[in-house]
Structure 1
Amino acid sequence: MGRIRCILTLLLPAVLGSCIAEDYEGPDPNLPTRTILVWLGGDNNLSDETERKIEALRQGWTYTGNKCLIYRDSRDGAHLLRLRGGCRTTPTPYVETVRDYGAENSASPETFARVLREVADAYPADSYGLIFFSHASGWLPSGTLQNPQKRSRSIGIDDGGAERAEMEIAEFAAAIPDGMFDFIVFETCLTAGVEVAYELRGKSGCMLASSAEIVSPGFTPVYPSALRLLCNTAVETRTALGAFGRAYMDYVAENYTGARRSATLSLIDIGEISPLAARTQAALRTRSAEAPDLSRLQHFDRPGSYGDSPALPRFFDLDEWLEEVAAPDEYEAFRVQLERTVVWKVATETFMAGQNGFMVRRHSGLTGYIEQEALPDLNRAYRRLSWSGTVYGY
């Protein structure tokens, strides 16, 4: 995403011996098993960063009876990798190539669905998690971050073919088998949108995502110490995701200054997103006829930073907007449900200060789009979303 990019990593350490049938004294046989798939959509200007991200994942791998697969697409083709070692017999973790796919479109819902099937079939587990890394612009159709009047797609980018390819969030969700994931971690920009979370209902139990952009190098610095948190089925999933999120936010606070000290993160219980839709619908029935002054509302994008024209915000804080437009009683009922839906959230005080950034006055953990007269094509695309159909009846 322009200068602010979500990044990934990959590395090729020497292959050592494997853990003897990965059956040594250590993993608790009474714990649920988990397979994590890390999706590195790097066949774009993030290609080099995938190597660094994989190396960080390798450093963080400790075998506990669970499995971690990495789908990596870069300029030299797509591969399915597996983290191995990290056990008593082979203490040094290493990366094993499981499959070579050659050149393919990692932003294709067909490719995404196929790899999900392959991983589920070859690496069965009681629990599955997904870490998804690439460019993204939340629910926005592709290309509309730069050109709001253009109709295209939204999550994951592949530049390797004759034409640039992207997935729409609806296609992304449809590719996931119902109930497959206990969690999805989005190492992508602008993804903590209520529209995204609603699309994923029934697909994942919860999601960790950012309302704003994720500044490079993203989660790479914390994978060596925090990947184990996502692999640990001895703790409740939301507890593990919260610990991972805090590890990242603590790293940002302790190691970055200036514009780089910029981050937002929230943990969303997708099982609570349908009740939130009902409360939002009820609250909006009471809104005043007078349109709110959008220039006063908290937003999490940086209009004008993406070559966009008109340069208008599109990712508003959901809570602040509802408080502005709804009747007090209905807003209070909405807010109670919002607190059930957003389990945890943290933000830095400012975001990209000095680089067309903004102060973070409000951060409810979920963003929402508000229709604007200057963006008629984007308004029409918004009305086709599942969230809009439920809340507004479009």
Structure 2
Amino acid sequence: MKSKMILFFVSFVMLFSACRNEDEPTLPAYGSRTVLIYMMAQNSLSPFARLDMEEMIKGMKQVDATSNNLLVYIDDYSAPRLVRLGKNSKGQVVEEVVANYPEQNSTDVAVMKKVISTAFNTYKAESYGMGFWSHGEGWIPSPAKTRWFGQDGNDYMNIDDLHEALQVAPKLDFLLFDACFMESVEVAYALRDCGDYMISSPTEIPGVGAPYEDVVPAMFTAGNPTMKIVSAYYTYYENRYNDGVGLTNENWTGGVSVGVAKMSELENLAAATAKILPKYVTGKTDFDLSGVMCYDRRYLALYHDLDQYIYKLTAGNSDYDAWKAAFDKVMVYWKSTPRNYSAYVGMFTMDSKAKGLSTYIPMTNRESTNTSYRDTGWYKASGWADTGWYK
């Protein structure tokens, strides 16, 4: 799957609160946590959007909606809208329309900035988080885009554009990508100043995406919710794993892979990598990738395990040990079922030694992709410019 206000004036409310319909939700002026989920569903994933919204509603039954705010921006084949999942006086979870929008390109930076600003400025809180729901490509060659998340019709969002849009957001505790291939070092490095942790998968994710009935309550746990979120995500699919036997979207037995990157440690990892690549990548020849986990089961094979690549480059010597210390501070969580499902090849084995953070590795038959790679922040910071590939 995901492999491409109404504003109540205070004086009015105070004056006429006795006349308010009892089914209207209570809107906190200031909350403990506000989470915005940005759903770009005007694509092949549209049928799943409503199902995931229903899961979110179920999840909110366990959340104190008087001090927490779950906002969902959804752009499917109906008019785009921003809603809050609150509770009415009977304790029922209700969808309150915060804002309606005309048909718009939800991958556009200005559009995303407007939605983010509306959500977080209207529902201020002590802490914040964001979820991103759509197709995803951590790295892909394209004339118009290189790295992208989110598909709205025929439009895609470059990761650099996503970074720009997130500059209007407050400090985020977490960024959850409910999309394929996003746990890549290139993506994490590009978004390193946008949040504390990035939760995502280095490979394809289940067709039905995150189990929001379990993930939503985890988003609103006290303290740092990141580990509760990723644990809820993984445990749901681990409990249903059966090596793909009888697999359907309603009965996902095909497993899952998910990891957490600590964003504040990515610059140290880039510096450590810059001590490795120029030293060991001395010529422009294809690297033997046998023994290096490939998370991408398409013919493109664009995503390989970063840790295994560095280990093989260095033969696991003391240079690797120093690098691995920096890597371990980035990847603070990684779990996978023994096998995962790919829409392209079916079930495939996950190398038990893989560490969950992917990277792009240049190849001689990918000249356009190699050239595009120069535009990434990771390329510039990790030493690739000083290797035999790019000199």
Correspondence for 1:195: 186
Deviations 1:310-336 (A, max 9, x none): x33110000000001126111111111
Counterpart-to-counterpart distance in 2, 1:171 and 1:50: 23
Tell me the SS of whatever aligns to 1:126.
strand
Aligned AA (2:49): T
Structure 2 CA distance for partners of 1:226 and 1:254, relative to 1, 3 Å: farther
CA distance in 2, matches of 1:348, 1:295: 21
Given residue 55 of structure 2, which amino acid in structure 1 is its aligned partner?
Answer: A
Q: What is the identity, as a one-letter code, of the residue corresponding to 1:293?
A: D
Partner of 1:91: helix, strand, or coil? Answer: coil
Instruction: Check whether the contact 1:41–1:72 (CA below 8 A) recurs between aligned residues.
Output: yes
Matching of residue 174 in structure 1 with residue 180 in structure 2:
no
**Higher mean Cα deviation, 282-291 or 330-339?**
282-291
CA distance in structure 2 between the partners assigned to 1:237 and 1:215 by the alignment: 22
The counterpart of 1:342, out of the listed 326, 331, 342, is: 331
Q: Which residue of 2 aligns with 1:41?
A: 40
The alignment partner of 1:206 has SS state of strand
Tell me the alpha carbon deviations over residues 328-363 of structure 1, each in whole angstroms, 9 at most, x when there is no partner: 111111111111111111112122379255321132
Change (3 A) 1:294 1:40: same
- Report the residue type matching 1:174 in the other structure: E
Seen in structure 2, the aligned counterparts of structure 1 residues 364 and 17 have a Cα distance that, compared at 3 Å, is: same
1:27-106 to structure 2, matched below 5 A, reads 33-61=32-60, 62-64=63-65, 65-85=67-87, 89-106=89-106
1:70 and 1:104 mapped to 2: Cα distance? 16
Q: 1:279 to 1:247 in 2, by over 3 A?
A: same
- Which stretch shows the higher mean deviation, 278-287 or 252-261? 252-261
Q: 1:392 aligns with which of 379, 383, 389?
A: 383
Percent identity reads 24
- For 1:33, what is the secondary structure of its paired residue? strand
Superposed CA deviations along residues 65-124 of structure 1, whole A, max 9, x for unmatched, are: 1101000001112000110117xx422211111111021111112211111111121111
In structure 1, what residue type is equivalent to 2:93? Answer: P
Q: Distance in 1 between matches of 2:69 and 2:107?
A: 24
Q: CA deviation at 1:251?
A: 4.1
Query: Which residue number in structure 1 is paired with residue 277 of structure 2?
Result: 284
Quick one: which of 300, 304, 317 aligns to 2:295? 300
SS for the counterpart of 2:39 is strand
Letter in 2 for 1:82: R
In the alignment, which residue of structure 1 is the partner of 2:364? 373
Residue type of the partner of 1:120? F
Measured in 1, the distance between the counterparts of 2:347 and 2:242 equals 20
CA–CA separation in structure 2 for the residues paired with 1:288 and 1:271? 27
Structure 1 pair 251–94 and aligned structure 2 pair: CA distance change class (3 A): farther
Q: Per the alignment, do residues 101 and 251 of structure 1 end up closer, same or farther by CA in structure 2, a change over 3 Å counting?
A: farther
Instruction: Mark the runs of 5 or more structure 2 residues left unpaired by the alignment.
Output: 5-20, 248-252, 386-391
| Structure ID, larger Rg | 2
CA deviations on 1:118-156 (whole Å, 9 max, x unpaired) are 112111112111110001111335xx4xxxxx4435211
Name the SS of the counterpart of 1:155 in structure 2: strand
Answer with 192-201 or 119-128: which moved more: 119-128
The normalised TM-score by structure 1 is 0.83
Q: Could you say which residue in structure 2 is the equivalent of 1:26?
A: none
1:158 is the counterpart of 2:157? no
- The change in CA–CA distance for 1:300 and 1:199 in structure 2 (over 3 A counts) is same
- Structure 1 residue runs of 5 or longer lacking an equivalent are 8-14, 24-28, 145-149, 304-310
Summarize deviations over 1:266-315 as a string: whole Å, max 9, x none: 01111111111111111223315475312442110112xxxxxxx33110
* Stretches of 4+ aligned residues off by more than 6 angstroms: none
Residue among 185, 196, 199 paired with 2:176: 185
Q: How many pairs does the alignment contain? A: 354
2:324 is aligned with what amino acid? R
* 1:363 alignment partner, SS class: coil
1:172-203 deviation line (CA, Å, top 9, x unaligned): 01111276311011000000000000001111
Contact 1:241 1:267 in 2 (8 A): no
- How far apart, in 1, do the equivalents of 2:272 and 2:234 lie? 29
